[in-house]
């Protein structure tokens, strides 16, 4: 048969695919949430005792005031069997209730803490991702054009080494050099206490200054990964027959660069771009700790040092949901932008 009926296929298969994909996402979230619940609940020791110990060792309190503080938190610590706690957690999770924190001003809903910190992480992770992706694409394309040359193979090794350097090392160096030594950038927090939060220029400027070093730390490490992926992808595309044929047809080089090389080389990177969002959320602990940045990672760090079970679970589950949803969106968007997937190749 000379023809393709796929172009005429209706939307039924798309709908079916989408339902299935959504179902898998929900099941994944359920299992991941369950797994982390039991892991977190397995943390040893009596929570109140752990809390007392923490207050003593972290805040150098004397035992009595630590004890009274911890006991104030006691009513907020869920009781009953782990299974019972699990079921009531699931039920409240479905209602959007993530329990209360026992470390931050005791009794604050975990949800509120998350709502306060998510925007900061999104700001840093999001800008870092976009900046490093953009730079990486440019460098990678350039490397692919001179593929096999001395400069290309040098950069390839250089970037694969840079990629393996932990981002906390980069962050520490930036902190010491540009924060403490040159004092070009603030070293802690998301904004200075003397500016009024809101949509005003001084505040925005201040926020950007505070976010600069955290973003730069991510960018330095991540640019190399994107550059290497883009290089590999572009080298493949450059060897494709449709590039040669486009040149023969006399298409202007700008058109070839954008809709031929660019589009076809970036497409395969798209999925990992989306997935990175979720993973950078999870990896934000180090950088946010170093710059005392009030995002999700810092919240997790606090929760762990304070044995704040529900806060910990809250952060965990937010990250799990972020990972699963970004994978889901990646799949859907990929279908939209790559015609080969869209019409069901």
How far, CA to CA in Å, does 314 sit from each of 126, 268, 310? 21, 33, 6
Minimum distance from residue 89 beta carbon to other proteins (Å) = 16
**Of 26-34, 83-91, 121-129, 212-220, which segment contacts other proteins by CB under 8 A?**
26-34
Interface residue with other proteins, options 14, 251, 257, 332 (CB under 8 A): 251
Measured in residues, the chain has a length of 345
Minimum distance from residue 196 beta carbon to other proteins (Å) = 26
- 304 belongs to the binding site for other proteins (CB under 8 A): yes
Task: Give CA angle at 117 (112, 119), nearest 5°.
Answer: 115
6 to 25, contacts with other proteins by CB under 8 A?
6-7
- x/- mask, other proteins, residues 180-199, rule CB under 8 A, reads xx-----x------------
Q: Which is nearer to other proteins, 33 or 73 (CB)?
A: 33
- 336 belongs to the binding site for other proteins (CB under 8 A): no
Q: How many residues interact with other proteins (rule CB under 8 A)?
A: 79
Cβ atoms of 216 and 129 within 8 Å: the answer is no
Interface residue with other proteins, options 15, 149, 263, 329 (CB under 8 A): 263
**Of 129-137, 210-218, 227-235, 245-253, which segment contacts other proteins by CB under 8 A?**
245-253
Minimum distance from residue 23 beta carbon to other proteins (Å) = 12
Q: Which is nearer to other proteins, 201 or 280 (CB)?
A: 280
Phi-psi category of 4—alpha, beta or left, where left has phi over 0 and alpha has psi -120 to 50? beta
**Of 60-68, 87-95, 117-125, 161-169, which segment contacts other proteins by CB under 8 A?**
161-169
- x/- mask, other proteins, residues 116-155, rule CB under 8 A, reads ----------------------------------------
Minimum distance from residue 333 beta carbon to other proteins (Å) = 14
Cβ atoms of 171 and 217 within 8 Å: the answer is yes
Contact partners, residue 92, CB within 8 Å, separation at least 6: 98, 99
Interface residue with other proteins, options 14, 17, 18, 28 (CB under 8 A): 28
Interface residue with other proteins, options 267, 273, 331, 333 (CB under 8 A): 267
Question: Dihedral, CA atoms, 277, 117, 100, 323, nearest 10 degrees?
Answer: 0
How far, CA to CA in Å, does 51 sit from each of 38, 164, 173? 20, 37, 33
φ and ψ at residue 100, rounded to 5 degrees: -120, 155
- 207 belongs to the binding site for other proteins (CB under 8 A): no
Residues 2-36 as b or e (16 or more Cβ within 10 Å = b): eeeeeeeeeeeeeeeeeeeeeeebeeebeebbeeb
- 98 belongs to the binding site for other proteins (CB under 8 A): no
Q: Helix or strand or coil: residue 283?
A: coil
- 241 belongs to the binding site for other proteins (CB under 8 A): yes
Q: Which is nearer to other proteins, 205 or 263 (CB)?
A: 263
Q: Which is nearer to other proteins, 117 or 264 (CB)?
A: 264
- 31 belongs to the binding site for other proteins (CB under 8 A): yes
Phi-psi category of 99—alpha, beta or left, where left has phi over 0 and alpha has psi -120 to 50? left
Residue among 273, 275, 284, 281 nearest 168 (CA)? 284
């Amino acid at each position: 048969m000379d023809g393709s009926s796929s172009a005429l296929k209706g939307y039924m298969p798309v709908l079916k695919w989408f339902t299935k994909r959504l179902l898998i996402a929900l099941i994944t979230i359920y299992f991941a949430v369950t797994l982390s619940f039991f892991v977190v609940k397995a943390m040893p020791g009596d929570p109140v005792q752990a809390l007392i110990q923490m207050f003593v060792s972290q805040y150098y309190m004397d035992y009595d005031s630590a004890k009274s503080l911890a006991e104030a938190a006691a009513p907020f610590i869920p009781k009953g069997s782990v299974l019972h706690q699990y079921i009531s957690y699931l039920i409240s999770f479905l209602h959007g209730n993530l329990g209360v924190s026992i470390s931050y001003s005791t009794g604050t809903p975990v949800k509120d803490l998350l709502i306060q910190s998510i925007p900061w992480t999104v700001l840093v992770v999001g800008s870092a991702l976009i900046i490093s992706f953009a730079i990486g694409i440019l460098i990678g394309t350039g490397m692919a054009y001179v593929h096999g040359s001395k400069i290309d193979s040098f950069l390839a090794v250089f970037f694969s080494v840079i990629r393996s350097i932990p981002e906390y090392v980069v962050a520490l160096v930036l902190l010491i050099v540009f924060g403490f030594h040159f004092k070009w950038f603030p070293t802690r927090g998301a904004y200075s206490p003397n500016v009024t939060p809101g949509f005003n220029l001084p505040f925005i400027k201040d926020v950007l200054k505070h976010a600069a070093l955290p973003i730069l730390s991510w960018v330095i490490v991540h640019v190399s990964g994107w550059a290497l992926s883009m290089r590999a992808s572009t080298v493949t595309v450059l060897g494709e027959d449709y590039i040669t044929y486009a040149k023969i047809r006399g298409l202007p080089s700008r058109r070839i660069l954008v809709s031929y090389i660019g589009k076809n080389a970036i497409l395969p990177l798209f999925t990992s771009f989306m997935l990175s969002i979720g993973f950078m959320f999870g990896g934000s602990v180090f950088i946010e700790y170093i710059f005392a940045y009030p995002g999700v990672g810092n919240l997790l760090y606090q929760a762990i040092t304070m044995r704040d079970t529900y806060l910990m679970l809250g952060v965990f589950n937010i990250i799990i949901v972020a990972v699963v949803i970004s994978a889901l969106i990646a799949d859907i968007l990929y279908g939209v932008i790559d015609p080969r997937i869209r019409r069901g190749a």
